[in-house]
């Protein structure tokens, strides 16, 4: 369900515009430092801090003994200076006394190893002692600060995502399965336990996955991930309900991680008042900029199109990668505006002041060890003082006509065991196809295949190996209603229990693609096959109705396709499938499905998408040179065009419409050439 509107409207009344700030850990510092911190926060334009995320041992040094005095002083100091607080329930790092007094509150790895104290996330989510103490301190915080003027939000926990394989979790998993399937016979059927003599004769024989020879039953693995996601979500909703019972007008969130496979964030987002996300793109990784955009569009999508919060990012470098490159001059500002361009209404950091000790002492901060002389501090301060110019953008949304599918349950299944390719990366294939759409300057949403697809003219479905009946029906209805869909190979293969659909490959999509896959054949890493286009959907096409042959190179995979109600759009020209269809075109109702039986080279795939987008009536948000990111946010009467220069030099953009630049105050005329410097940003406001 979307957030209750009054919760976020009250928050926006208190914190209008783009929120700016970061994690604040005053328990690591003396009171004289707190006063200096607040002075510098005001200088930097900080409006919100996340407080107490890892403060449990400072707030409760022994079981039932609470020391809130220091937090009272910090809350008062922040409130007196007009800085709002996103107050955390500090359950992400339980204090040592909890593990000492209750050793079974610690989690257990699959191999039976019990995790020790010394890091974070060292809790079993089913431990009654952990759950009791976590709710107790949450209640104490809520009762103590319910009416405090600084309290603006609740931050439940931190970056959830750890699994536990203790005996208690094993029993809960068994109970979860009994409720889900009703009978042991049904469980055996759904898991296919007759294979390798895994059939269960009594519920006491059923356990969560532990190490086996080879790989575990893939259906059991997917169910264990579903269970783990729901178990951890229960911790969040229990605290959320408690907090709402005491502070009903204060919104509640928790922070999500980038490309995190353990939790179904789409399901989690329904339980939160606002989506919050921690972004740490690796500057050393190829395509890190477009990967960040994908995650931002995903956060906007799982929140139902509502603005979301960039809860954490790094001011300069991080400390968790093998090589921790710092953000070069201007890139922190540029990447912050990138998040805003894709729907963020908050720009926040981990953390405010760099720690002197601990595992993350070399993680950059808004205020680094070198203090106010540091370039990173000066850039943080300047950004905080510039962001008030973005106030008109806050609360606005997007209006994309193109969507790409991302599905956690499919992620869990498609990277499961013993497939034609066992080096498959769902993240890589989805972000590659997303990147191709973004390179066409199209506005893109990231969606689930079983949600409302009515507003999209073009839907891209990358390798949807697992497809449910509901997803299949939604996809078919979308096409019949006039949607254009591009589906990649290894899609529609299994149901939600990882059982192969009947009626041949791809049984879950065969009538939708209008063809059958007789066999699925991966290609060796250095193999290439030729592909020749036969019609109007390829690199040689120039628009709707265009004809002519075209050629491409394909890698990774080749389906042996048979066209049934579809027609071939391309054939293989080399390899043992030479002459066989490689791409199918199926007209279904008022729409169209293009099925790719192979992986086209990047240029050919981009041209194919461009042609299908043209035929679907979808145009670019705004033309721009390569390396310039384009995005748009909309209010009822205004549009805000973001132009972000990720290249290594200045670029020139010819404007298709007039606009007022919120950052410079300049008016730009239609047809004018706008020059963006290196790492430059323009945000142009114009009437809708």
What is the tens place of the pLDDT at every residue in 70-123? 999 999 999 999 999 999 999 999 999 999 999 999 999 999 999 999 999 999
Q: What pLDDT does 416 receive?
A: 92
The pLDDT of residue 539 is 45
At residue 549, the 3 state secondary structure works out as coil
- Whether pLDDT at 542 is above 60: no
Residue 3 has pLDDT above 60, yes or no: no
pLDDT for 548: 66
**Region class of 633: left (phi > 0), else alpha (psi between -120 and 50), else beta:** beta
% of the chain exceeding 70 in pLDDT: 97
Q: Report the distance separating Cα 64 and Cα 75, nearest Å.
A: 22
Instruction: State the Cα–Cα distance between residues 372 and 215, nearest whole angstrom.
Output: 53
Q: Which of 27, 159, 360, 451 is catalytic?
A: 159
CB-based contacts of 336, cutoff 8 Å, min separation 6: 310, 313, 347, 383
Taking 80 as the threshold, does the pLDDT of residue 640 lie above it? yes
Cα separations in angstroms, 598 against 107, 539, 575, 594, 680: 43, 16, 13, 12, 38
Work out the pLDDT band at 10, boundaries 50, 70, 90.
low
What gap in Å lies between CA 317 and CA 333, rounded to an integer?
14
Q: Express each pLDDT in 396-426 by its tens digit.
A: 998 899 999 999 999 999 999 999 999 999 9
**Residue 9: per-residue pLDDT:** 63
Any idea which residue has 């106010």 for tokens? 372
3-state secondary structure of 306: coil
Q: How far apart are CA 473 and CA 482, in angstroms?
A: 15
DSSP 668: E
Among the listed residues 83, 72, 78, 128, the one whose alpha carbon sits nearest the alpha carbon of residue 104: 128
- As a whole number of Å, the CA-based R_g of the chain is 26
Mark whether 159 is an active-site residue: yes
Q: Do residues 273 and 253 make contact, with C-beta atoms less than 8 angstroms apart?
A: yes
**Residues counted in the chain:** 688
Q: Please tell me the distance from the alpha carbon of residue 263 to that of residue 161, in angstroms, as a whole number.
A: 6
- Predicted pLDDT of residue 398: 87
Q: How far apart are CA 666 and CA 671, in angstroms?
A: 15
Q: Considering the candidates 163, 221, 239, 312, report the single residue annotated as catalytic.
A: 312
Pull the structure tokens for residue 500. 């192969």
DSSP tag of 113: P
32-80 pLDDT, tens per residue?
999 999 999 999 999 999 999 999 999 999 999 999 999 999 999 999 9
Q: Supply the pLDDT for residue 2.
A: 41
Residue 540 has pLDDT above 50, yes or no: no
What pLDDT score was predicted for residue 399?
84
> Tell me, what's the pLDDT at 15?
86
Maximum distance among all Cα pairs of the chain, rounded to whole angstroms: 78
Q: What is the pTM of this model?
A: 0.96
Between helices 331-341 and 288-302, what is the axis angle to 10°? 30
Q: What tens digit of pLDDT does each residue of 313-354 get? A: 999 999 999 999 999 999 999 999 999 999 999 999 999 999
């Amino acid at each position: 369900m979307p957030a209750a509107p009054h919760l976020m409207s009250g928050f926006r009344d208190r914190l209008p515009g783009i929120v700016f700030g970061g994690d604040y850990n005053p328990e690591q510092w003396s009171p004289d430092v707190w006063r200096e911190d607040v002075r510098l926060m005001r200088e930097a334009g900080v409006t919100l801090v996340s407080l107490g995320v890892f403060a449990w041992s400072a707030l409760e040094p022994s079981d039932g003994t609470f020391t809130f005095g220091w937090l009272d002083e910090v809350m008062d100091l922040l409130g007196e200076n007009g800085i709002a607080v996103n107050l955390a329930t500090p359950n992400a790092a339980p204090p040592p006394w909890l593990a000492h007094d209750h050793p079974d509150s610690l989690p257990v790895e699959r191999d039976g190893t019990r995790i020790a104290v010394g890091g974070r996330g060292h809790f079993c989510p089913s431990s009654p002692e952990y759950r009791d103490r976590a709710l107790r301190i949450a209640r104490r915080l809520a009762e103590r600060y319910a009416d405090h003027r600084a309290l603006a939000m609740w931050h439940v926990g931190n970056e959830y995502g750890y699994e536990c394989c203790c005996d208690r979790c094993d029993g809960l998993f068994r109970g979860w399965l009994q409720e889900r399937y009703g009978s042991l016979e049904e469980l055996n059927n759904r898991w296919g336990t007759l294979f390798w003599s895994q059939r269960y004769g009594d519920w006491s024989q059923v356990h969560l996955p532990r190490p086996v020879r080879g790989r575990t039953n893939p259906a059991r693995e997917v169910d264990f991930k579903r269970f783990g996601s729901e178990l951890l979500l229960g911790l969040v909703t229990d605290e959320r309900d408690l907090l709402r019972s005491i502070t009903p007008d204060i919104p509640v969130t928790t922070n999500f991680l980038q490309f995190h496979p353990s939790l179904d964030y789409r399901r989690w987002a329904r339980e939160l008042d606002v989506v919050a996300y921690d972004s740490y793109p690796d500057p050393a990784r190829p395509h890190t900029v477009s990967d960040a955009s994908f995650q931002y569009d995903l956060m906007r999508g799982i929140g139902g199109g509502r603005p979301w919060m960039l809860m954490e990012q790094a001011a300069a470098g991080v400390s968790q990668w093998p090589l921790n490159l710092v953000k070069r001059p201007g890139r922190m500002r540029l990447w912050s505006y990138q998040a805003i361009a894709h729907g963020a209404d908050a720009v926040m950091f981990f953390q405010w002041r760099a720690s002197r000790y601990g595992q993350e002492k070399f993680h950059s901060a808004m205020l680094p060890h070198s203090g106010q002389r540091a370039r990173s501090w000066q850039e943080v301060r300047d950004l905080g003082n510039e962001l008030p110019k973005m106030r008109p953008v806050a609360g606005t949304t997007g209006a994309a006509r193109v969507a790409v599918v991302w599905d956690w349950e499919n992620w869990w299944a498609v990277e499961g065991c013993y497939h034609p390719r066992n080096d498959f990366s769902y993240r890589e294939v989805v972000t590659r196809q997303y990147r191709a759409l973004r390179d066409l300057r199209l506005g893109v949403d990231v969606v689930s295949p079983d949600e409302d697809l009515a507003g999209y003219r073009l839907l891209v479905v990358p390798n949807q190996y697992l497809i449910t009946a509901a997803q299949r029906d939604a996809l078919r209805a979308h096409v019949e209603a006039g949607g254009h869909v591009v589906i990649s190979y290894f899609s529609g293969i299994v149901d939600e229990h990882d059982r192969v659909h009947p009626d041949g490959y791809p049984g879950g999509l065969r009538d939708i693609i209008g063809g059958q896959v007789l066999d699925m054949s991966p290609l060796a890493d250095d193999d290439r096959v030729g592909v020749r286009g036969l019609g109007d959907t390829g690199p040689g096409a120039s628009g709707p109705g265009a004809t002519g042959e075209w050629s491409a190179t394909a890698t990774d995979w080749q389906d042996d396709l048979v066209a049934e109600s579809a027609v071939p759009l391309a054939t293989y020209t080399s390899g043992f499938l030479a002459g066989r269809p490689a791409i199918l075109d199926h007209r279904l109702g008022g729409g169209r499905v293009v099925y790719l039986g192979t992986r086209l080279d990047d240029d050919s795939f981009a041209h194919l998408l461009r042609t299908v987008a043209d035929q679907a009536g979808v145009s670019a948000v705004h033309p721009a040179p390569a390396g310039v990111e384009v995005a748009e946010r909309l209010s009822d009467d205004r549009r805000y065009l973001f132009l972000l220069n990720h290249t290594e030099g200045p670029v020139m953009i010819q404007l298709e419409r007039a606009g007022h630049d919120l950052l410079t105050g300049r008016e730009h005329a239609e047809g004018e050439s706008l020059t963006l410097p290196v790492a430059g940003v323009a945000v142009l406001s114009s009437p809708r």
